[in-house]
Amino acid sequence: MSNTETRPAEVKCGGGAEAARPVDVEVLTARDVPLGGPRAMRVRRTLPQRARTLIGAWCFADHYGPDDVARTGGMDVAPHPHIGLQTVSWLFSGEIEHHDSLGTHARVRPGELNLMTGGRGISHSEVSTPDTTILHGVQLWVALPREHRDADSAFQHHVPDPVPFDGGEARVFLGSLAGDTSPVPTFTPLLGAELSLAPGAETVLRVDPAFEHGVLVDAGDVLVEDTAVQPAELGYTAPGRTTLTLTNRGTGTARLVLLGGPPFGEEIVMWWNFVGRSHNDIVQAREDWMKGSRFGEVQGYDGAPLPAPELPNAPLKPRGGAR
């Protein structure tokens, strides 16, 4: 998915907190962002933001829906570029058609992972299908570490099986949790999973103490440890925990997305759809996109590519690294 803001700010992406057992859960609220168009579908963005811009290598999290496609027009994101990152598409309902400059034509469906590696450069389009009535899901980005930021572009698809745990079930699309491990390789250690919690359930999950974690609540009356996290909010926990306690206080099933990874520990520059290491990286990527080089061509989309926004007047500065 593209960051379609017409004036995207420089994002100062930093690493996580020091590896000490935390006392509290940090609650991150989302901001509404339109995806563009006269009847723009809106998304709720919890990463990046001023309070916290990275959870492990996860650097971007959009949460959208349930969206009535008949009212909003759904998703229609024209071809756009990416460098230095991977996109992770995960749906709860609806279907999205994906075309990219590798020649990939794929469908994003509920419970199925589509992971695209941008590396040195890729472009793609995303359009909700005509049969979709309600569109609902998350779009996530992963920053690539310095040694792999120019990796070959790629596309991977995986359908995780549901794995039961006490009080619910998990679909682990990246990393390991609840005795299940995704076969999809990553460039840094990561965790990504959809969790369902039964009404009234409390579960204690074993987690990697080297990881910081984010619990994005889609639906339910949820406690992360002893802290209430409302739907569309994200509860953050610092490294140092060996377990994570999740409670559904509601009468319906709660749905969560659990993200994790060790603090990223590198300085990066994130602007529009690009993750680089310097202002010049971003300038060059923008120039290449606008002149039609480096990113290839997307076949199968009826319309023109997205133009890049204007860069800010001030140089973009690398920020972040381990605290």
pLDDT at 142: 97
Model confidence pLDDT, tens digit, residues 233-262? 999 999 999 999 999 999 999 999 999 999
Instruction: Return the closest-CA partner of residue 78 out of 116, 129, 37.
Output: 37
Q: Between these two residues, 224 and 322, which has the higher pLDDT value?
A: 224
134 phi, psi to nearest 5 deg: -125, 125
Average pLDDT over residues 115-126: 97
Query: pLDDT per residue over 5-35, tens digit each?
Result: 555 655 544 444 433 444 489 999 999 988 7
pTM for the whole thing?
Answer: 0.92
Confidence at residue 297, expressed as pLDDT on a 0 to 100 scale: 97
pLDDT at 167: 96
Residue 127: predicted pLDDT: 95
pLDDT in tens, 47-83: 998 878 899 999 999 999 999 999 888 999 999 999 9
Percent of the chain topping pLDDT 90: 83
